[in-house]
Structure 1
Amino acid sequence: MGAIFFLATLGGIAFYVQNQTIPEDRDELRKPATALPDVIEDNAPPPLAWRDRLDLGAIELTPIVEADAAAAPAAPRPAAEAEGSPALDIDPSSARYVQNLADGHRLLYTLDPVLQQSALTIFRNREVPYAAAVVLDVRDNSVLAFAGHSSMDPQVDPLEVLTTAWAPAASTFKLVTAASLLENGAANGDTKACFHGGLRGITDDLLKDDPALDTRCESLSSAVAYSYNLVLAKLALNHLDQRKLEDTASSVLFQQEIPFEFAVEASPAHIPSDTNSRAKVAAGFWHVDLSPVHGAVLASIFARDGIYQPPHIVAEVRSPDGSDLTPPIPDETRALAQSVADGVGDMMVGTTRYGTASGSFRDNQGVAFIPGVDVAGKTGSLTGKRDPILNYNWFIGYAPADRPEIAFAVILANGPKWRIKAHYAARRLVQIYLDRRDAITEARAARLTENELILPARDPETGALIAQAGEAKPSPAPEPEPEADEPLPPVPGALPSIEQ
């Protein structure tokens, strides 16, 4: 019942996510996204024996043991118990999550325990009512963090917070609009729109060109970085019809199935035929919802030069007799032209350098909190009007911006009193990843045995891992890392105001 209440409540609130009055004659009300129906194929392969028994609540923190290690590993410990324990018997920095099924199947998850536990710690310590974080390794879109949190209603399954399109996409949809403008040759980063009357709210009269009043002009790049609603709305009004915006949204998986080990609800994007309504949608108002999984996948498309690859969270499957049942990694397809993805990605860097997320990435003197690393991202924020009053706060992006290694999405549903925004939580996760990047690469080589999780043998001269056939040679392990749930640093500086 708690899960039903959660979806029904947030679905209703999502309708009231703008700060201006919705016209009575608007298009048909946005309907909640629904899971795609099951399609039964005549020649479909038989279901996998383990597929319907994936359970995040049953994963166990399992130490990684080097081949021929003399010391026996500690007994695995359930992840749920480990997260709440003040002292871990198993060091999460040298472990992975494994699920042992009653029939003898063993499943190795792609999750990095430190990133996973850190995300949950941030949400818990900062008292966020609802939150989710998804981090993808863009080498193959394996899932490094898959953290769902619900303190407002503990009965809500964290998996629902991760896989359902329960939050309005808000200004993250500006990335789709920018991509559509570039894709259709209608604009580039320097293309400007002139306007009057402010940058947050959008009314029909503000969308009309008025040379006498439109004395301020801003570029598309600035509009993405600062989340200027009117600039995106007017560019879309002048250059994008319904079909063009729909096609781009579809190409980046809105209204589309995202194959994944857990069912993911399709993110709806209803593009109105009315020009003014469509301009408002293009700027991030109305009609578009987003799941955290889709948010991370969307960011990964820009990080991977326009290439889409479905995410996966299962790294290896061993049958009771020890045979390898690991499914193949999902195939890649092109979603956007490389020039389009790279062009939008360049705009996203401005968000953290000087735009709406700069307060979490730079101090008051402009010094970066992550030296030498740019992060590409996009904020999004909308506030409901009915109880419980929640602000839906997004940050999606990738890092490092010049040579991406991870893509991510963080969504927070904060109450009237809140302690952090999504871009702060995302910055902390990027920092933790960068500290662990070599360890994460090394852990990818770990393989299941009957009772253990083993790393391949090391070269006796160099100490490097000896890669298995078909795998890249992992980097050496880094210096030991601090505990994942050490006290978080204070939020740096004054938090920026909430943008539409």
Structure 2
Amino acid sequence: MRKKSNIFFIFIFVLITSCNRLPKDDLFKEYLYIKTHNDLENTTINENIQKDVSLVLKNHKVPYGVVIVSDVRDGRILAIEEYSRRGYDVGKYINKPLQAASIFKIVTFFASLSSNLYNSRDTIKYYDRMYSELGNYLKRRQSTKVYSKTTIKEAMAFSNNSAFAEISLKLKKDKIIESAKRLFFTGEKIRGIKTGFIELPEDSSSLIKLASGLEHSYMSPLHALLIIMTVGNDGKLVLPYINKNDSKKSLNVMKNFIANEIMKSLSLTTRIGTAKKHFSKRPEISSRTYAKTGSLYANDPDGYYNWFVGIYDGDKSRYGIVVLTVNDPKWSVKANYIAFKTIEFIKKYEEN
């Protein structure tokens, strides 16, 4: 009887101690651990960046916001924080596939490069407004001789829906689907990260909306990190980690020249494009930041989604930054501003 009792207490002891130990090789569980235990020992987290990012989110009382910072060269997570004025549970949305919005344009351009169709300097004609929701694009394209021109790099900077609709119509549908799978839109888990998915396009109308990011694509903030870390590290994803004892692994996702061409396509966003307003104050930051933004109204969490997914090319390393804010009709703060402040913190605490 005593032997059984001892075995029981040993089991309870092991269970308790395992619950109080930093998880390994599972980024989401590692994040939940540091948030619930407030324990950063043996982690890669830069406490100063983490603290200042948290303050910015709280000070702006964002309905929901998340910031993730990583070193794309070695995979270290330097900061990872959520805040919700609405009181959402920790971890509820950081690992849940949400509307990807215009971030999916990166996938479309990846498909274009893989098909030898367009590079970032090429010019393309399009047949509607930049920010058209594309409901009548196919009819307009057939019936009008009026068109505009843009380079792919400018189309990315201004998130030109019509230009990306045009790219998709010149691609094979299967190429976009294949490129989405290569960038982890598979619904599988990678080191505890839930990857997103796409709704397969049934016709040209749904295809152009997928390609431009208006509909049909879903990713979590952690999934977005995998995408930008791949692009920022020459096509090789070093799997992100928080626990210093995690196994160090990497995946070859795309060819070096394709990743570099995608980087070039992201180079104007903070200089002349959708993130110019906040980044124009510091040319030394905007000139070294490569980014894609995206915004739309979506549900669960309800509100206006504002994405920033980018790379800061520092002196010591390259850093991946993912920011998502979900705002009420009365805006709290844009992701672009949070991203800009985050890069200032990187320069202050990681680069010095």
Question: What's the TM-score, normalizing by structure 2?
Answer: 0.85
What are the superposed Cα offsets for residues 237-295 of structure 1, whole Å, 9 maximum, x if unpaired? 122x22111111111111153433xx322211223131221111000011111111111
2:34 to 56, 77, 86: 56
Q: Which structure has more RCO (C-alpha within 8 Å, separation ≥ 6)? A: 2
| Distance in 2 (alpha carbons) for counterparts of 1:115 and 1:215 | 46
Report SS of the residue matched to 2:307. Answer: strand
User: Could you say which residue in structure 1 is the equivalent of 2:89?
Assistant: 157
Whether contact under 8 Å (2:278, 2:336) holds in the other structure is yes
Which one has the largest radius of gyration? 1
Q: CA deviation at 1:372?
A: 7.9
Report SS of the residue matched to 1:352. Answer: coil
Matched, 1:202 2:117: no
Matched, 1:173 2:104: yes
Matched, 1:243 2:199: no
Matched, 1:346 2:269: no
Matched, 1:187 2:101: no
| Distance in 1 (alpha carbons) for counterparts of 2:65 and 2:266 | 23
Whether contact under 8 Å (2:155, 2:163) holds in the other structure is yes
User: Could you say which residue in structure 2 is the equivalent of 1:8?
Assistant: none
Q: CA deviation at 1:389?
A: 5.5
Structure 2 counterparts to residues 382-393 of structure 1, below 5 A: 382-384=296-298, 390-393=303-306
CA gap of 1:372–1:403, structure 2 versus 1, over 3 A, is farther
Whether contact under 8 Å (1:171, 1:379) holds in the other structure is yes
Whether contact under 8 Å (1:250, 1:256) holds in the other structure is no
CA gap of 1:190–1:128, structure 2 versus 1, over 3 A, is same
Equivalent position amino acid for 1:296 in 2 = L
Equivalent position amino acid for 2:43 in 1 = Y
| Distance in 2 (alpha carbons) for counterparts of 1:414 and 1:405 | 29
What are the superposed Cα offsets for residues 165-220 of structure 1, whole Å, 9 maximum, x if unpaired? 2x210000001111110111111123333233312123353235348433311121
Whether contact under 8 Å (2:50, 2:78) holds in the other structure is yes
CA gap of 1:284–1:388, structure 2 versus 1, over 3 A, is closer
2:210 to 261, 281, 297: 281
Whether contact under 8 Å (2:271, 2:286) holds in the other structure is no
Larger helix share, 1 or 2:
2
1:303 to 214, 232, 236: 232
| Distance in 2 (alpha carbons) for counterparts of 1:356 and 1:337 | 28
Equivalent position amino acid for 1:394 in 2 = W
| Distance in 1 (alpha carbons) for counterparts of 2:205 and 2:84 | 36
User: Could you say which residue in structure 1 is the equivalent of 2:82?
Assistant: 148
Matched, 1:422 2:335: yes
Whether contact under 8 Å (1:380, 1:394) holds in the other structure is yes
Percent of aligned pairs with the same amino acid: 25
User: Could you say which residue in structure 2 is the equivalent of 1:253?
Assistant: 184
Whether contact under 8 Å (2:73, 2:317) holds in the other structure is no
Equivalent position amino acid for 1:424 in 2 = Y
CA gap of 1:203–1:399, structure 2 versus 1, over 3 A, is closer
Equivalent position amino acid for 1:303 in 2 = G
User: Could you say which residue in structure 2 is the equivalent of 1:138?
Assistant: 72
Matched, 1:328 2:247: yes
Whether contact under 8 Å (1:373, 1:401) holds in the other structure is no
Q: CA deviation at 1:397?
A: 0.6
Whether contact under 8 Å (2:127, 2:137) holds in the other structure is yes
Equivalent position amino acid for 2:264 in 1 = D
Report SS of the residue matched to 1:346. Answer: helix
User: Could you say which residue in structure 2 is the equivalent of 1:217?
Assistant: 149
| Distance in 1 (alpha carbons) for counterparts of 2:35 and 2:190 | 21
Report SS of the residue matched to 1:433. Answer: helix
Report SS of the residue matched to 1:408. Answer: strand
Matched, 1:412 2:330: no
What are the superposed Cα offsets for residues 18-75 of structure 1, whole Å, 9 maximum, x if unpaired? xxxxxxxxxxxxxxxxxxxxxxxxxxxxxx95438852234456xxxxxxxxxxxxxx
Unaligned ranges ≥5, structure 2: 1-16
Unaligned ranges ≥5, structure 1: 1-47, 62-96, 99-107, 316-325, 439-477, 479-500
Q: CA deviation at 1:387?
A: 10
Whether contact under 8 Å (1:207, 1:230) holds in the other structure is no
Matched, 1:128 2:66: no
